[in-house]
Structure 1
Amino acid sequence: MPLISYHVADVYEAWALFQFVKLTLDILRSSLKKISEGDTGADAERREVARGLLVAHKALDSITYTGVVMFLVVCVGQAGWALYRLTFTDPTLNGWESYNNQLSLFKAAGFIASAAAIYNVHIVESEFHCFFVGYSPLLKFVTVKILLSLAFFQAGAFYAIQTFNKTLPNVLQDVSKRIPFVADILQFNDSQFYLFYSSLILYECVLGVLLHWFAWSSSESFYLEHNDVIEGDEEAIAEKTPLVDKTEKTSYSSWLFG
């Protein structure tokens, strides 16, 4: 029953990923348009490259959204089916094995979908990071990859390691039992694993918060990008200033403690 919390959290995670990808691709289109028109002072070769990428942007949109939407559908399906079974049916009538087997199908699909989504996000960041204007992508994409891996990928990797260990000869299994930390993970039952995994997620969330502090700087100019510009409207924006002046010295201690 507590696993429902994981399933519902995965839905929120998938929706956050969808919104992040939508924002990033919109900003990429806007940035390519600026570069191709010479608004950023780019040389002729860079402007020509930007024009070509702008033409291919629609295809990039479709490919990237494929992995993200697959991930979102699996998360919604898993949470919806689990809530339906536990709310409107009694899984104990046929034993919990049937219920667990049904959810294991979502786990397998989710592992593949999350891997595809991580790969798509990685490609966008690695191939187009130098074309973003007023938007620093590196730490943003690092935090998204960590967030993505929480849903299915990390748990699936642990289960894969446990399953692989069971197929090893007895001699190699004895060796793995002597490896610190790894030996404990290999011997976890479901309850022990989810207690461990819940604790691990807490530490990863703290790491994510710290990275977000630097990744989403309030001084980035993309915050003031007008929706019409993102959608391709030719109307210029009269004033574009960051939310916080980069030259302004902000005292975080005074902000925290008044």
Structure 2
Amino acid sequence: MATIDLNCDLGEGFGAWSMGDDAALLDVVTSANVACGFHAGDPQIMLATCRLAAEKGVAIGAHVAYPDLRGFGRRPVPTTPDELFADVVYQLGALSAAASAAGTRVRYVKPHGALYNVAVRDAAQADAVAAAVAAVDPGLAVLALPGSELLRAASDHGLAPISETYADRAFQPDGTLVPRAHAGSVLHDPAEIAARVVRIVTEGRVTAIDGSEIAVEARSVCVHGDTPGAVEIAAGVRAELVSAGVELRAFA
């Protein structure tokens, strides 16, 4: 039987401002990428999200980012490898403490937004992220696009490299994500998304934005918690995967 992890970005509110329906999504997904305070999240939200994930048996990952609250972490921030190393250590430490207080633990790291996209191609930034993770806990996994510099760096530092794909994002012919500024970069139709994910998981193929067919290798599928209709999308993806005979379980 095929198996897949379903992950989602959660805990992305800040103060009185909320983002998405975390409680409903935690009933659907198997792994939660929890914001660590740099692009979103704060101490109370981090702790509450970890508690709810622990209650529902969902694996927790550190969703580390560039320090960019105003831009929601989607703008590249010029930083040296040493600065990035420290930033990742700081964020991972904060979430690890929150998870411990909630009776669980962090199992993996997934960069957010601009940091994720930069680390796909930038070897120095990818190495800084992986080195920081290994310095904090060499038993953690790193979640990223297949063939990325980040997965290479994770392997180089003795971490478990976990490849992922996206349910609600369009792909370029080289397998990278279509930038959000481009038309068609984010998908919204739940039925279309669910069918697409089933094909990725069962056939290892997806149609890129230019109509070409590309191979996809993934152990996890991401649904963005801030995408409109995220709960409906995630629930539809899960239902169609189960109907196709795919078992959903956390990779870590």
Q: TM-score range by the shorter chain?
A: under 0.3
Give the structure-2-normalised TM-score.
0.27
Give the structure-1-normalised TM-score.
0.27
Name whichever structure is richer in helix by fraction. Answer: 1
Name whichever structure is richer in strand by fraction. Answer: 2
Q: Which has the larger radius of gyration?
A: 1
